[in-house]
Structure 1
Amino acid sequence: MSRTARQSMYPAPPGASHWAALDACSAALQASCSNLESAVGILHQGTMDLPRLAGIVQSRRMFDLVTEPEVFAAQRALANEMAPQIEELIRRAEDGLEGLKQKERTLRAKVEKRQSAASRSQTPITVDQSDLDTLEQKLASLQQKKNRLGREVEALDERAAKAKSARVRPGAATAGRGVKR
């Protein structure tokens, strides 16, 4: 018996075009997965607030209806409650306004009095030269007296400060005895 070559049960290796087609399919599948992932992200962003939105959509607004007489009764009750306070505020405002009017009248009277006094004193006052010299001498002597009294006050303040510091420091009590007063 002669042996003949048996045929392989595996098909022959695919050609280059077949590998290129598989590579294109793989690239298309990756692009589809990328698009799908992007769509899922967009869908998640659009629907992540869905439970809150569902609660909002399902909520109902309830209105309590009141009758017109009930509204008028509430208005009257509120007016009765607020009336004494409003009247008190109006009375205070009127009192304040009256006080301001009185003050204005007083100020106007003072202005008129000063204007009339100013119009009467339009005549110049004349002073003799000897009277002026006498007044200047008095002014100079008073200024000297003021300066001398100011120096005496400063000296007294210094003594008081020294006496106070001597009382504060216990060892300084004996040192302050030699000071003339």
Structure 2
Amino acid sequence: MSRARPSMYPTPTSASHWTALEACAQGLHACGGNLQGAVNVLEQGTFDLPRLAGIIQSRRMFDVVTEKDIFESQRALANEMAPEIEGYIARAEDGLEELKQRERALQSKLEKRSQAASRPQAPVSVAQSALDALEKELATLRNRKNRLGREVDLLEEKAARGGAAAGAGGPAARSRPGVKVGIGRR
């Protein structure tokens, strides 16, 4: 009477057991995917938490101004600026009037010149001898002017040299600065 010995190996599991384990694993993977999605959403929503904390902690002050205050400020500003603007307008009008007067004066000059140009002019006749005498006198006056200019230059050089040589007590020290020594007509 021997009894059968129990087997050391477990009995094979049924197919329904394997399908149940597979469904459980798939559910676990789906749960892990959902959890990863939730973590991503949470991370996107809170990645700038320090900035949001700073925004929430900051206090902003707003001044509430009534429409009456705004209109009063506008009127005060207009009253302050009005004299200056009126002054600018007056200056512009004065300048415009001055330009109109200059235009009228130039127009009248132009009319006078055009009338003078349209009139026949009598030929100016000067005797050749008088013309020669005037040219001769002009040449002598030019020569005299050039000679006097050279004399003035020489006198200024002497005064400059004398002032530099004599120092503070020379004749240049007694003359007024900026005053040129000139020679009058004889």
TM-score normalised according to structure 1 size: 0.51
Residue 99 of structure 1 deviates from its aligned partner by: 1.0
Counterpart pick for 2:106 among 108, 111, 125: 111
Gaps of 5+ in 2: 1-46, 171-186
**CA–CA distance in 2 between the matches of 1:71 and 1:147?**
88
| Cα deviation digits, residues 140-166 of structure 1 (max 9, x gap) | 522431332132122222222212321
**CA–CA distance in 2 between the matches of 1:143 and 1:85?**
69
**CA–CA distance in 1 between the matches of 2:132 and 2:105?**
34
Q: Which residue does the alignment assign to 1:18?
A: none
Q: Which residue does the alignment assign to 1:161?
A: 157
| Cα deviation digits, residues 66-108 of structure 1 (max 9, x gap) | 55xx332331342243223311222112211221222122112
1:1-181 pair list within 5 angstroms = 54-58=49-53, 59-60=55-56, 62-64=59-61, 70-122=65-117, 123-125=119-121, 126-130=123-127, 134-135=130-131, 137-170=133-166
TM-score normalised according to structure 2 size: 0.50
Q: Report SS of the residue matched to 2:124.
A: coil
Identical amino acids, percent of aligned pairs: 13
Change (3 A) 1:108 1:144: same
**CA–CA distance in 1 between the matches of 2:84 and 2:145?**
57
Structure 1 vs Structure 2 CA RMSD: 3.1
Change (3 A) 1:146 1:71: farther
**CA–CA distance in 1 between the matches of 2:51 and 2:108?**
78
Report the count of equivalent residues.
118
Q: Which residue does the alignment assign to 2:40?
A: none
Change (3 A) 1:127 1:90: same
**CA–CA distance in 1 between the matches of 2:70 and 2:108?**
55
